[in-house]
Amino acid sequence: MILSFGAKNFWSFKDGFDISFELNSKVPKDISMGRSTSSVIGVKGANSSGKTQILKALDFFNYLGHRTFIANRESLYVESFFDNDDPVELYIEFETKAIRYTYEIELTKKEILRETIYKKKSRKTPIIERIKNQITKRTSEYSDLDLISLKPYASLINTVPNFKLESIGNDIENIYDYFGNIIGNVGARGALSDAEIYCYKEASQYYSDSPEALEFTTRIINKCDPSITRIDILDRTNEKGDREFFPIFYCDDIQYSKNWLTIYDLSDGTQALFKRLTQYWNVLLTGGVLVMDEFDTHLHPELLPILVDLFTDRNTNQKDAQFIFTSHNLEIIDHLGKYRTILVDKVNGESYCYRLDEIPSEVIRNDRPISNLYREGKLGGVPKL
């Protein structure tokens, strides 16, 4: 689970931001669900306030772990505040396989300046540090790192798995795997459209290979459209001779000879659910992190808490998966409460953010709606129209 992450000089955040998932003893039990770390965080704010930039930081860790060790790379896909020359700094503190890690990196578009991995048992200890293309600090179990050549554009996390090092610890592999399980609809340039990342044929093949995932999706779609009681995945051979998969949605209570629909007969919202829920299922199954920008697009407001509660309910979230999202829906704040809501604002082109429980005020209480306070502009993060 992510405990906290942040960045400095990253996109519109000049002085930086820190997002904490940690919950203290003051958090009510119906919010914490007995966890010391939240499984959901919602990010609110006006258009262009910087909400998506926060999510980009998480996608950037996936990028560092899996998409930098590429031949002929000439730059790193990172943006500083108004493209200034100072380095960008990012960090993430997380726990995986019962081990707590902190990963820090400083870089520019031209090179990685510093990369440090800390491991915490009884205390936080640096186990590997890289300054530019040199390993400057390492524990004895990582002596084989001396055998590899680092590149200015490739992270350690993405470089090491490409070498067959016989005597090396499991920490880099653990971090590599964890960063690979940060998925969603956010890329280097912002939110990706459904058409860019979701395909009903690929989703159908996923469901064909995973009947449990199909059952999961059918239950949720049935809540959205009770007439749909069953989804079958069929296959056919296309004109190229390839096998492709497609869904049929059955309405078993319809008393006609035709009681089924194709995906093209469905609303945009139901189509979106069918495709997007593959990622929800995958993250819940692996204990990963789902990063969704405007996750409410095409979806009815009353469906949103159902999706959020997939992560708060221990029955559906047994692997401590996490969900961080942005949304323009207002009422979702009341569902999240002040401990799980981040507000983002911007002044003179610079973004800043804060968790609602950081506001020193008795106005915000867990037993009162927060949305009215937000609507009235008492909490910040609203458009200045």
Mean pLDDT of 343-354: 94
- Contact at 8 Å (CB) between 243 and 209? no
DSSP assignments along 97-140, one per residue: TTEEEEEEEEE-SS-EEEEEEEEESSSEEEEEEEETTEEEEE-G
pLDDT of residue 383: 63
- CA 274 to chain CA mean position, Å: 19
Judgement on whether residues 99 and 165 belong to the same structural domain of the protein: yes
Q: Kindly state whether residues 16 and 128 are assigned to the same domain.
A: yes
Region 197-201: mean pLDDT is 88
Residue 294 lies in a domain: yes
Calculate mean pLDDT across residues 339-345: 94
Same-domain pairing of 264 and 342:
no
Does residue 220 lie in a domain region?
Answer: yes
Rounded to 5 degrees, φ, ψ at 361 are -150, 145
114 bridge partner residues: 106, 131
**What is the rounded average pLDDT of the residues 45-53?**
92
The mean pLDDT of the chain is 91
Please compute Rg for the chain using Cα positions.
Answer: 22
Residue 205 pLDDT exceeds 60? yes
pLDDT-derived band at 25 (thresholds 50, 70, 90) equals confident
Q: Is residue 29 part of a domain?
A: yes
CB atoms within 10 A of CB 329: 20
Measured distance CA(117)–CA(273) in Å, rounded: 38
Residue 186 belongs to some domain of the structure: no
- Confidence class for position 152, pLDDT limits 50, 70, 90: very high
Alpha helices in the chain (DSSP H): 29-32, 51-66, 156-159, 171-180, 194-197, 200-209, 211-224, 268-286, 304-312, 332-336, 371-375
Please answer whether residues 40 and 309 qualify as being in contact, where contact means their C-beta atoms are separated by less than 8 angstroms.
Answer: no
What does the pLDDT read at residue 174? 96
Residues 143-148 have a mean pLDDT of 90
Last residue of a domain, one of 254, 276, 298: 276
Both 64 and 170 in a single domain? yes
**272-303 pLDDT, tens digit each:** 999 999 999 999 999 999 999 999 998 989 99
What would the mean pLDDT of 168-182 be, rounded to a whole number? 94
Residue 188: its pLDDT value, please? 80
Is residue 361 pLDDT above 90, yes or no? no
The predicted model gives 68-82 an average pLDDT of: 91
Q: From 214, 246, 276, give the residue that closes a domain.
A: 276
Same domain as 199, residue 177: no
Residues 246 and 143 in one domain: no
**300 and 163 inside one domain:** yes
Q: Is the confidence at residue 104, as pLDDT, over 80?
A: yes
Number of residues assigned to the chain: 385
- Whether residues 291 and 201 share a domain: the answer is no
pLDDT above 70 covers what percent of the chain? 97
**355 shares its domain with 232:** no
- pLDDT at residue number 371: 79
**25 and 139 fall within a common domain:** yes
**Phi, psi angles (nearest 5°) of residue 274:** -55, -40
**Does residue 310 surpass a pLDDT of 90?**
yes
Could you tell me if residue 189 is inside a domain?
no
Domain co-membership, 40 together with 98: yes
Domain count, the chain: 2
Prediction pTM value: 0.93
- Paired with 354 in beta bridges are 343
Q: Which residues pair with 124 in a beta bridge?
A: 120
Q: Residues 207-231: pLDDT tens digits?
A: 999 999 999 999 999 998 999 999 9
Cα angle vertex 193, ends 385, 284, to 5°?
105
Tell me which of 145-154, 194-203, 271-280 is least confident.
194-203
Residue 305 pLDDT level (bands cut at 50, 70, 90): very high
**Is 351 a member of any domain?**
yes
**Which is higher by pLDDT, 191 or 343?**
343
Could you tell me the CA-to-CA distances from 182 to 29, 121, 185, 287, 292 in Å, in that order? 27, 24, 10, 10, 11
The pair of three-digit structure tokens given for residue 259, joined into one six-digit string: 């009681």
Structural contact between residues 290 and 183, judged by C-beta atoms closer than 8 angstroms: yes
- SS3 string of 50-71? CHHHHHHHHHHHHHHHHCCCCC
- Where does residue 135 rank: exposed (0-12), middle (13-18), buried (19+ CB within 10 A)? middle
pLDDT category of residue 166 using cuts at 50, 70 and 90? confident
Residue 118's domain is classified under what CATH number?
3.40.50
Domain membership flag for residue 314: yes
User: Would the pLDDT of 385 be above 60?
Assistant: no
Q: Is the pLDDT of residue 258 over 90?
A: no
Q: Which of 242, 276, 310 represents a domain boundary (last residue)?
A: 276
Nearest C-alpha neighbor of 232 from the set 220, 244, 215: 215
Q: Are residues 49 and 119 in the same domain?
A: yes
Q: In 3D, which of 279, 310, 307, 288 has the Cα closest to residue 210?
A: 279
Banded pLDDT at 384 (limits 50, 70, 90): low
Q: Which domain holds residue 233?
A: 194-276
- In whole angstroms, give the CA distance from residue 284 to residue 320: 8
pLDDT band at residue 94 using 50, 70 and 90 as cut-offs: very high
Among 319, 312, 300, which Cα is nearest to 337's? 312
- Domain assignment of residue 188, yes or no: no
